[in-house]
Amino acid sequence: MKRTKVLHLLSAESPIEELLVKGWVRTRRDAKGFSFIEINDGSCLANLQVVADTTTPGYDMVTKLSTGSAVTIIGELVNSAGKGQKWEVQARKIEVISVAPENYPLQKKRHSDEFLRTIAHLRPRTNKYGAAFRIRSELSWAIHKFFREKGFCYLHTPILTGSDCEGAGEMFQVTAMDLKNIPKNNGRVDFEQDFFGTPANLTVSGQLSAEMFALALGEVYTFGPTFRAENSNTRRHAAEFWMVEPEMAFYELSDNMDLAEVFIKHLVLHIIEKCSEDVALFSKFVDKTLMTTLENIIQNNFVQLPYTEAIDILLKSGKTFEYKINFGTDLQSEHEKFLTEIHFKKPVIVYNYPKTIKPFYMRVNDDNKTVAAMDVLVPGIGEIIGGSQREERLDFLESRMEELGMEKAPYWWYLDSRRFGSAPHSGFGLGFERLLMLVTGISNIRDVIPFPRTPNSIEF
């Protein structure tokens, strides 16, 4: 007999005479002569209630079924005689696959997120984390679906990179050298003897590679792991996270901003529709304002606000900020919060930042003071997307690199794209985990990553 999943049983249209279901025991309630066993197999949030009585083959083992035990049930799907569920399984045979002993760490009660992080290998067995990781999966699929329907190519950019100054933060160095016996030349590390013959790092962004493919395939996106060796200790940062980076030929900044908005709205709507049961758990137990927040994102136009106007609003707010704001300073958390949570109360796209605080590849505007950059800020999370129109003019790009004291030689291939058939193009990077935090209301990035990596933490 073929195994049926709990998800399908609970959404059955009619009774089923014989079925096979396997899963893990969430809880067991004994009555005189029979027991209720709740089974979860991960296919959905809800448990399946199984009723077994003393005549059921295997019943002698039922009383030993503890939370976490794995079982096989053969039985019949019938309308439940009790309240609280439509269907239940009347067991005909129960086989115990394994019994979880009394020291099984997950109990039938609420555990703190901090404790569950210490048992990250077991926490997906809880309602909350099961829901979070089902949503993570669905959100990944939704991203691919969105781009596929728009005719984007999915691009795999390298994880290992020889570029060491992409300006996106501290990088993890990668080497095949014996660290206990590093080859030296005149007292310096001799990278010529390393695997690639030159220093190598883990990628901090696939953008520069993606630009090359956008200028060939038109519209591309990457979706993969990204690494930052920043010593960041916050609930919004991880050393290893996933980033979505679309890159589009012939897109100008406004096209870029419009895509970012449509993208986020599409994904939020998708999750509300496809994961309603899991989302309901989060809005009930994790963040009571979640549905309001998500509706707000779907229904309202994002504010598109030039950086200079953002500065004006902040200056005229009458609020005293810890960090003084004026043209040329970057927006701090407190400023982003003010704009998204107090002033506009919805997502805000700030664009045209001073070129002094943005990287070399962003397109310089006609005022020669600002660049065509844009950051999407959302209430509660802050920056979720950072992007720009890229500088497609070779002379502008080279003089920017010179201004910043960058060595041009390693970028020969990047500059080549501006020599041969250069064209306006734009793109952005979206922090996948931050989007997950947004749609679940989970406030710590460590709780939306299966096995999170943060400073001093690489267990599991």
Partner RNA sequence: UCCCCAGUAGCUCAGUCGGUAGAGCAGGAGACUGUUAAUCUCUUUGUCCGCGGUUCGAGUCCGUGCUGGGGAGCCA
- Shortest distance in whole angstroms from residue 219 CB to RNA: 20
Chain CA centroid to CA 69, Å: 31
| Interface pick for RNA out of 91, 238, 267, 339 (rule CB under 7 A) | 238
Q: Is 323 in the site for RNA (CB under 7 A)?
A: yes
| Interface pick for RNA out of 61, 72, 177, 230 (rule CB under 7 A) | 230
Give the separation between CA 143 and CA 244, rounded to whole angstroms.
8
Q: Is 72 in the site for RNA (CB under 7 A)?
A: no
| Half-sphere exposure for 87 (CA within 13 Å, toward CB) | 22
| Half-sphere exposure for 143 (CA within 13 Å, toward CB) | 25
| Half-sphere exposure for 91 (CA within 13 Å, toward CB) | 28
Q: Is 86 in the site for RNA (CB under 7 A)?
A: no
Give the separation between CA 277 and CA 294, rounded to whole angstroms.
15
| Interface pick for RNA out of 2, 13, 17, 83 (rule CB under 7 A) | 83
| Interface pick for RNA out of 17, 84, 395, 409 (rule CB under 7 A) | 84
Q: Is 446 in the site for RNA (CB under 7 A)?
A: yes
| Interface pick for RNA out of 41, 88, 138, 247 (rule CB under 7 A) | 88
Q: Is 356 in the site for RNA (CB under 7 A)?
A: no
| Interface pick for RNA out of 52, 91, 208, 243 (rule CB under 7 A) | 243
Q: Is 433 in the site for RNA (CB under 7 A)?
A: yes
- The answer to whether 433 and 262 have CB atoms below 8 angstroms apart is no
Main-chain dihedrals φ then ψ at residue 234, nearest 5 degrees: -140, 170
Look up residue 365 and give its two tokens. 């505007």
- The answer to whether 198 and 162 have CB atoms below 8 angstroms apart is yes
- Shortest distance in whole angstroms from residue 149 CB to RNA: 23
Q: Is 398 in the site for RNA (CB under 7 A)?
A: no
Q: Is 39 in the site for RNA (CB under 7 A)?
A: no
What pairing do the DSSP bridges indicate for beta strands 34-40 and 153-154? Answer: unpaired
Q: Is 257 in the site for RNA (CB under 7 A)?
A: no
- Shortest distance in whole angstroms from residue 66 CB to RNA: 6
- The answer to whether 66 and 99 have CB atoms below 8 angstroms apart is yes
Q: Is 390 in the site for RNA (CB under 7 A)?
A: no
Beta bridge partners of 240: 227
Closer residue to RNA in complex, CB, 83/188: 83
- Least Cα distance to 388 among 399, 403, 401, 376 occurs for 376
Place of tokens 């209630």: 49
| Interface pick for RNA out of 11, 185, 231, 300 (rule CB under 7 A) | 231
Q: What are the helix (H) ranges across 127-202?
A: 127-149
Closer residue to RNA in complex, CB, 41/447: 447
- The answer to whether 381 and 354 have CB atoms below 8 angstroms apart is no
Q: Is 236 in the site for RNA (CB under 7 A)?
A: yes
| Interface pick for RNA out of 93, 111, 150, 343 (rule CB under 7 A) | 111
Give the separation between CA 363 and CA 93, rounded to whole angstroms.
69
Give the separation between CA 189 and CA 173, rounded to whole angstroms.
13
Q: Is 27 in the site for RNA (CB under 7 A)?
A: yes
Beta bridge partners of 354: 370
Site size toward RNA (CB under 7 A) is: 69
- Shortest distance in whole angstroms from residue 90 CB to RNA: 7
- Shortest distance in whole angstroms from residue 115 CB to RNA: 3
Contact track, RNA, 166-205, x by CB under 7 A: --xx-----------------------------------x
Give the separation between CA 27 and CA 35, rounded to whole angstroms.
11
- Shortest distance in whole angstroms from residue 76 CB to RNA: 11
Q: Alpha-carbon torsion 404, 407, 408, 410, what sign?
A: negative
Instruction: Return the SS3 of 110.
Output: coil
- Shortest distance in whole angstroms from residue 82 CB to RNA: 2
Q: Which spans of this chain sit near RNA (rule: CB under 7 A)?
A: 27, 29-32, 36, 38, 49, 51, 66-67, 80-85, 88, 90, 102-103, 105, 107-112, 114-115, 117, 168-169, 205, 228, 230-239, 241, 243, 323, 330, 332-334, 337, 382-386, 429-431, 433-434, 443-446, 456-457
